Chains A and B, each alone.
Chain A
């Protein structure tokens, strides 16, 4: 399955990446399993920041819970909290 991944704010610097096209071997993914795989396989050195509870995820521009399924062609975006004023 192919999933478009988008990162926002500080994640962009921490992962040195603002978006990527992710190719998964498994036909079944959830937001949680995708997050785990990205952290482990795509960003083995800096990926821990993705696993923080405070990083929100949205699938196709709708806020998503960890158990939500991710389908081929979806866009999954990750948002860390931002505090600058």
Chain B
């Protein structure tokens, strides 16, 4: 164990005075390593608290740049950082916060061929990602390399957190054997999230990491904790291992991480560009434009004469549309309109196009006065 310098003793004194931690516990934290996948809403508090706590080596996986719409919840970054790579800013910020922590910056998109060597370098893995492809990869790599995984996700006013540490408890695939169809699960960008939610849940993740490293208390292994911010209620669900889990069950069929197939619903949707649509509208020849965003988004900005039918209610209102007529589907940036495309195509609509880049592309290319968000 490395000796603490007088500065470090002072820095960590509020840990060291606790009988559950002491000097030995702090030295254990300083000798430990944690990999945080994603440095966004959840990753921000996770990294800030773990760096502050003096974790020896903190790995970050991230490839995004900072967008102004991130700042409302991703507290690692501030307004001056917009446009910068998240990883560079996070590295600088965390090094300032605690220069004793080694920050490993992994500027990459996790995939089947790079996840195992990465996970193996760390004691504990934290999932702060925002998509199922990454969540399954991280879960599979964590189980296959025997590392505990602190898993969490947030949506609007809700959050959930658990620790996967098979065989002590279930893994992600025990609960959700297969990824859900993408159109059923809105992302933060689509569904929205109150900034405090990742703050609360990410702080819980950092706490679970410290408990795992120090062997303290009762980790959230086999316990799924759900938080509803609106009712301010926590509920705990015991979660068991699935004997037939394809990854950690009795006869596993998954022996290495594999990439999820690219979303099939995104294939084959005919696209129309903002300028093509503007041309059709000017000539009075455009089909009806259906905007599948939420009313509160539509109120900020909308394409003239477009019809608002939020994606969540699309199945209800599809009856008011004529499957034989042409329609152009749009949303904020193009994600939801693809889901709407798949829904309507399955319902028998045959003449659909999707506005490439959504209303954001329209604002950029056609209407510079339009408000963007």
- Please determine whether B237 and A61 come into contact, CB atoms closer than 8 angstroms: yes
Query: Residues of A within 8 Å of B, CB-based: how many?
Result: 25
Contact A52 B180 (CB under 8 A): yes
Q: Interface with B: A21-29, A41-49, A66-74, which one? A: A41-49
- Residue from A8, A62, A83 having most chain B Cβ neighbours under 10 A: A83
CB of B99 to closest CB in A, whole Å: 27
| B278 in the interface (beta carbon within 8 A) | no
Q: Are the CB atoms of B158 and A9 closer together than 8 Å?
A: yes
B48: shortest Cβ distance to chain A, in Å? 15
Residue of B whose beta carbon sits closest to that of A13: B312
In the complex the two chains form, is B178's CB within 8 Å of A85's CB? Answer: no
Cβ A58 vs Cβ B130 within 8 A: no
Q: Is B33 an interface residue (CB 8 A)?
A: no
Judged by a CB distance under 8 angstroms, whether B83 is at the interface is no
For A52, the chain B residues whose CB sits under 8 A away are 180-181, 184
**Interface residue ranges of B146-160 to A (CB < 8 Å):** 152-156, 158, 160
> Is the CB–CB distance between A83 and B236 below 8 Å?
no
Complex CA distance for A35 and B181, rounded to whole angstroms: 19
Interface flag for A56 (CB, 8 Å)? yes
Q: B residues within 8 A CB of A77?
A: 235
Check B153 against A84 for contact (C-beta < 8 Å).
yes
Pairs A–B under 8 Å by Cβ, sample size 27: A8-B226, A8-B228, A9-B158, A14-B312, A45-B316, A46-B313, A53-B177, A54-B176, A54-B180, A54-B184, A56-B176, A61-B235, A62-B237, A63-B238, A63-B240, A81-B132, A82-B153, A82-B155, A82-B158, A83-B130, A83-B131, A83-B187, A84-B193, A85-B40, A85-B43, A85-B127, A85-B154
* B interface residues, Cβ below 8 angstroms from A: 38, 40-43, 127-132, 135, 152-156, 158, 160, 175-181, 184-188, 191, 193, 198, 226, 228, 235-240, 312-313, 315-316
